[in-house]
């Protein structure tokens, strides 16, 4: 693999080249590795390395030190440099290999980080699915409980409706005002029981134990039933007025 080498004469030019490469990301004009001299006049020692590392965005930096400055180069490696070479003690093959290995390590590190992020995303997605499954199981349990309660309550309502009908039949032959009032009371009991039965059907729908049977609802009839109950509950001085749509 061949690399194009771009040389700059100052730290400022190097920083500008980094910014230009970052702005042109994806265009193919990228930087794979940086070879930095630790003997730049404007930023000697580790100053240039610190400035480049802050702007390099994780790019590998191979430092080049003068003979006798190996301790400085080692400090740079400890601070994050990918490798170091000593001026006049390396050849082109060694330089190429050092830069190539630095770029390869960076690519491998980036791939590893991407894999870790993908694994974290998969783990988060799995946790979310588990939470959704647990929530669905809870709702299913609540549905079964509601269905059982609705079924038992519906049986009680059938007993109420049956006995109400028996009582009504026993009072029907008697034509007295008190009997008429008692029949009205029984009608209200039966109507309330039927409304309660409608609620139990909704619970059974929630528990998926009942087939949906849509029906037309007359709002005037609902208001009329509610009016009959309210007139018995409100005080005598309270006037109750209702208005029905045609």
CB 147 within 8 A of CB 204: yes
pLDDT in tens, 178-223: 787 888 888 888 888 888 888 887 777 766 655 556 677 778 877 8
Average pLDDT over residues 36-46: 79
Q: Cα(1)–Cα(96) distance, rounded to whole angstroms?
A: 10
Q: Give the percent of the chain with pLDDT over 70.
A: 81
Residue 180 DSSP class: H
pLDDT of amino acid 26: 53
Distance CA 183, CA 165 (A): 10
Question: How large is the angle between the packed helices 177-206 and 92-171, nearest 10 degrees?
Answer: 160
Find the mean pLDDT for residues 172-176: 68
Q: Identify the band that residue 92 occupies on the pLDDT scale cut at 50, 70 and 90.
A: low
State how far the Cα of 33 lies from the Cα of 47, in Å rounded to an integer. Answer: 18
Average pLDDT estimate for 217-240: 76
- pLDDT for the residue numbered 1: 52
- In angstroms, rounded to a whole number, what is the distance separating the alpha carbons of residues 185 and 5? 100
In the chain, the percentage of residues whose pLDDT exceeds 90 is 0
- pLDDT for 120: 82
pLDDT at 83 over 70: yes
Bridge-based pairing of strands 61-65 and 34-37 is parallel
DSSP string across 48-115? HHHHHHHHSTT--EEEEE-TT-HHHHHHHHHTT-SEEEETTS--HHHHHHHHHHHHHHHHHHHHHHHH
Confidence (pLDDT) at 207: 64
Q: Are 43 and 51 in contact (CB under 8 A)?
A: yes
Residue with the larger pLDDT of the pair 99 and 157: 157
pLDDT of 127 strictly over 80: yes
- Residue 36, SS3? strand
Does 2 score more than 70 pLDDT?
no
């Amino acid at each position: 693999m061949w690399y194009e080498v771009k040389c700059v004469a100052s730290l400022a030019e190097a920083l500008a080249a980094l910014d230009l490469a970052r702005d042109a990301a994806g265009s193919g004009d990228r930087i794979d590795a940086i070879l930095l001299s630790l003997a730049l006049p404007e930023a000697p020692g580790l100053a240039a390395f610190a400035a480049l590392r802050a702007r390099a965005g994780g790019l590998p930096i191979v430092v080049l030190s003068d003979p006798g400055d190996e301790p400085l180069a080692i400090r740079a490696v400890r601070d994050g440099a990918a490798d170091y070479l000593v001026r006049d003690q390396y050849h082109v093959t060694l330089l190429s290999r050092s830069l190539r290995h630095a770029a390869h390590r960076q690519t491998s590190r980036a791939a590893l980080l991407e894999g870790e992020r993908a694994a974290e995303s998969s783990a988060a997605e799995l946790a979310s699915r588990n939470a959704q499954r647990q929530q669905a199981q809870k709702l299913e349990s609540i549905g079964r409980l509601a269905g059982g309660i609705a079924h038992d309550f519906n049986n009680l309502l059938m007993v109420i409706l049956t006995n109400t009908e028996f009582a009504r039949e026993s009072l029907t032959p008697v034509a007295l005002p008190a009997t008429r009032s008692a029949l009205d009371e029984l009608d209200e009991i039966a109507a309330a029981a039927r409304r309660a039965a409608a609620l139990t059907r909704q619970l059974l729908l929630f528990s998926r134990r009942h087939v949906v049977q849509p029906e037309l609802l007359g709002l005037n009839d609902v208001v009329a039933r509610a009016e009959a109950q309210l007139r018995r509950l409100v005080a005598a001085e309270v006037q109750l007025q209702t208005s029905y749509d045609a």
